[in-house]
Structure 1
């Protein structure tokens, strides 16, 4: 059976979505029922230095207002906090809290478990071969986790 390029793209996207949905469901079972993929993207961006709504918006390719709403949700849930900037007392910096880091650690562990499950389904060698092929096709540099808005980026094309 011959598949189209669009079929391949949808299979890859489906694999991503299957893993993410399973990880979110497992986080829910582990007591983190309020976590969504965008929260992980945001916490990773904050941990990497996005310490304001403006900077978070730039890193996530979203508006400053959307970033501020995401920050408010993360603060309300205890995943991030605002602390006074040691260099400028008028400025508040964002930081991931220990609870936020725990959510990210749990998520990473869950993805390892899901990878192991896929290995059991198709065989560890087959999974390693799949990963090797994908590395050749897409490169070995990981996709940045702080850029979920990449599909909305301006490619200089007319609207």
Structure 2
């Protein structure tokens, strides 16, 4: 079976689609008051989640070193997206939690992604977009929450 399309184009097109959506998300987030957020920050804030986490666990989840996680935490802390608090059960541990500004950024991101998906549906047609999403679900692992992408890309 032969194709006129070289095999390497598929992953590059998938990556380009991801990059296009993420770039559009961040342009809109900037317009809505979150200009300092970068693509990596979304992975970090998702990994912190609603319950918070430690720098060690954050690094493990992201697939990066504790030091790299700590540096990102400092950046997000300075920008007001996260805060460090003492663990209620072990006062030696610091827990990183989202601030209301961090929660706002994630809430806005969800709404922006919905709008971007709607635009893709309008351009491609809802049926074609649903078929694409269905095909991607079929070809990828069920657990789509791979937050270790920053470490995977960086090779850390």
Q: Is the contact made by 1:44 and 1:146 (CA closer than 8 Å) also made in structure 2?
A: no
Contact 1:50 1:56 in 2 (8 A): no
State the match for 2:22 in structure 1: 20
Distance 1:102 1:50 in 2: 16
Counterpart pick for 1:62 among 28, 42, 64 = 64
- Checking the alignment, whether the CA contact within 8 Å between 1:42 and 1:146 is kept in structure 2 is no
Q: Among residues 26, 44, 47, which one is paired with 1:45 in the alignment? A: 47
Q: Which residue of 2 aligns with 1:106?
A: 108
**Structure 2 runs not aligned, ≥5 long:** none
- Residue 82 of structure 1 and its aligned partner are, at CA, apart by 1.0
**Root-mean-square deviation (Å):** 1.9
2:11 — aligned with what?
A: 9
Whole-angstrom CA distance in 1 between matches of 2:107 and 2:50: 15
* CA-CA distance at 1:124 after TM superposition: 1.0
Q: How does 1:65-104 map to 2 (within 5 A)?
A: 65-104=67-106
Query: What TM-score results when the alignment is normalised by the length of structure 2?
Result: 0.89
Partners of 2:52 and 2:98 within 8 A in 1 = no
Matches of 1:91 and 1:135, distance apart in 2: 38
Q: Which runs of 5+ in 1 are unaligned?
A: 155-159
Q: In the comparison of the two structures, how many residue pairs are matched?
A: 154
TM (norm. structure 1) is 0.88
Contact residue 87 and residue 95 of structure 2 kept, 8 A? yes
